[in-house]
Structure 1
């Protein structure tokens, strides 16, 4: 994702919903309707993405389905906390998707690392040789993929916990910034794991 696309995603999926929610709350709108209205921006963006590309973009489809499903559930049950917990399903889905690849022939983090290597102009075939010939190399990437899977699942659990225990007005802002410490921990620990003396030569040589 380039910088422009990243900026658009952050503005549409994070900044705009927060601005709508807190703007409506400041105007005296109840939390439930404010949450429903704030979900319109990412839902519309996801729908536009699907229509524009004229093919299934799974991330956009997931966002749209979650927005509609959580909004419908909140309307039926009258519980705005269903809307607050919506994002937990996204990170849970990511965690499960990564977890499924751990025992496979291409764990997700290995495939991603290989793609980055190839995009940087390096010969990624050496990694294929190491994958076939080194049990330790395979273990490195399986453990790293498992670490990220568990991290996303923990993030999802934390989002559900905070959605149902903290004041409603606190949760949207908290969930918006939660990504940063979670990703920082995952990235830092993953970097330390790859840079261990026993792993460094296999991964970076």
Structure 2
């Protein structure tokens, strides 16, 4: 358990904390494009290391890397004030589409995230092959995250073209925190409920 928890913490630090810190440290001294590009190198290196070590592509690091690359593309596109304000939400919306699109593949994106956090536990593959409910749960979580990300992006687009820019800046973060917070709350509750049903406690 401790090993698994440590691996999860390490993965989150490498793929989320370090890119964010790199970006925040670099942005006062260089352009957004360069700061984002350097930040993207962290999850890219982790993906390459994981590929060499396990001979399997690391979906989680790849997903974070994709998000950073899309942010770089959004910076390159430029645009007016409102488009610039929506850059993060365009990326969020594309990520939502990626989540939903993965439902059409043999295994959804959340499965590969869970596999990374459990250290590629072979029991996961056995359960996936044998238990229809197990497969349904992963697909449901993936669908909920995909729809939540799309909803966040949609609300931001509506707000930015309905409100003044100062008002948008004042309220937009609230909607992001509420939607993502509710999704995380649901995700944690859903997993706890599954564990209770499995253990009978």
Residue in structure 2 matching 1:158, options 155, 165, 168: 155
- Matched residue, 1:33: none
Residue in structure 2 matching 1:141, options 138, 142, 145: 138
TM-score by length of 2: 0.69
TM-score by length of 1: 0.68
**Are the structure 2 counterparts of residues 199 and 95 from structure 1 closer, same or farther at C-alpha, using a change threshold of 3 Å?**
farther
* 1:198 Cα deviation after fit: 7.8
**Are the structure 2 counterparts of residues 66 and 143 from structure 1 closer, same or farther at C-alpha, using a change threshold of 3 Å?**
same
Q: Distance in 1 between matches of 2:82 and 2:117?
A: 39
- C-alpha distance after superposition, 1:74-105 (max 9, x if no partner): 2xxxxx22222222211111101100111322
Count residues with an aligned counterpart: 169
Residue in structure 2 matching 1:44, options 21, 34, 37: 34
Structure 1: gaps spanning 5 or more residues = 18-39, 75-79
Residue in structure 1 matching 2:69, options 61, 64, 70: 61
* 1:196 Cα deviation after fit: 2.3
Q: Distance in 2 between matches of 1:41 and 1:178?
A: 28
Moved more, 181-190 or 155-164: 181-190
Moved more, 83-92 or 43-52: 43-52
Structural mapping, 1:86-165, within 5 Å: 86-118=87-119, 124-165=121-162
RMSD over aligned Cα atoms = 3.5
Q: Distance in 1 between matches of 2:154 and 2:173?
A: 15
- Matched residue, 1:34: none
Q: Distance in 2 between matches of 1:96 and 1:106?
A: 15
Aligned to 2:165, what secondary structure does the other structure show? coil
Structure with max Cα Rg: 1
* 1:150 Cα deviation after fit: 0.2
User: Does residue 171 in structure 1 map to residue 179 in structure 2?
Assistant: no
